[in-house]
Structures are given as structure tokens and as C-alpha cells.
Amino acid sequence: KQEVTQIPAALSVPEGENLVLNCSFTDSAIYNLQWFRQDPGKGLTSLLLIQSSQREQTSGRLNASLDKSSGRSTLYIAASQPGDSATYLCAVLGANNLFFGTGTRLTVIP
């Protein structure tokens, strides 16, 4: 069964720093990987989707990479802002299910 792990569970950084969130998965047979953002009491917002054939995707200050063979993905956030404070979840699409990690709670300190 696919297991998705996100480390660290929580992260605090000062405003302006660049940061990296990590996601690892145990089964490399995936179709795609998605990064989501979840604000307290809210649903999930899709940030980036990387197909299994791709190595990275970029959107604004966000860049996600995928190394399927090693079972890893990273989400890079450049020039962090207080508005980036949220929980970030990665999810991998297997044969018939989307498996979520437990998330990294990010706090950007003004």
C-alpha cells in the first residue's frame, strides 16, 4: 500500500526566506503528484500537479519537483510571505486512489 510522508510536520521561517517542503512516497508506480494548500477550517486548494513523466512544475513563486525513481518530491517556495502560512499537503495518484500525506504546517513570521 502506498504511504506518503511529509517532513517536517511543522516549519516556521521569517518572511522573505526561501524554503523547501519535502514529500516521499513508497511506491514509485504513480500517475501524478499534486501539492495542495489548506488554510485552517478550509478545504484544499490545488497548487501544482506534476505528471509522472514530468520533472517539475512552476507557478509564480512555487516550484515543485518530482523524482519518481527515488520516491521524492519537493515544493520550493521563494521569498516567503506571511500569506503563505498554511498547511501544505502532497498527494500521489496510484492505480485507483489519491494518497495524501499528513502535511507540513508552515508559519511565515512577519
Partner 1 sequence: EAGVAQSPRYKIIEKRQSVAFWCNPISGHATLYWYQQILGQGPKLLIQFQNNGVVDDSQLPKDRFSAERLKGVDSTLKIQPAKLEDSAVYLCASSLDVGWGTLFFGEGSRLTVL
User: What are the beta bridge partners of residue 46?
Assistant: 36
Q: Count residues contacting partner 1 (CB under 8 A)?
A: 23
Site string for partner 1, 79-108 (x = CB under 8 A): ----------x-x-x--xxxxxxxx-----
Q: Does residue 32 interact with partner 1 by CB under 8 A? A: yes
Measured between alpha carbons, how far is 47 from 95 in angstroms, rounded to an integer?
Answer: 22
Q: Does residue 57 interact with partner 1 by CB under 8 A? A: no
- Complex with partner 1: residue 71 or 103, whichever CB lies closer: 103
Q: Does residue 73 interact with partner 1 by CB under 8 A? A: no
Task: Give the single-character DSSP code of 72.
Answer: E
91 CB contacts (<8 Å, ≥6 apart)? Answer: 4, 33, 34, 35, 36, 98, 99, 100, 101
Q: Does residue 42 interact with partner 1 by CB under 8 A? A: yes
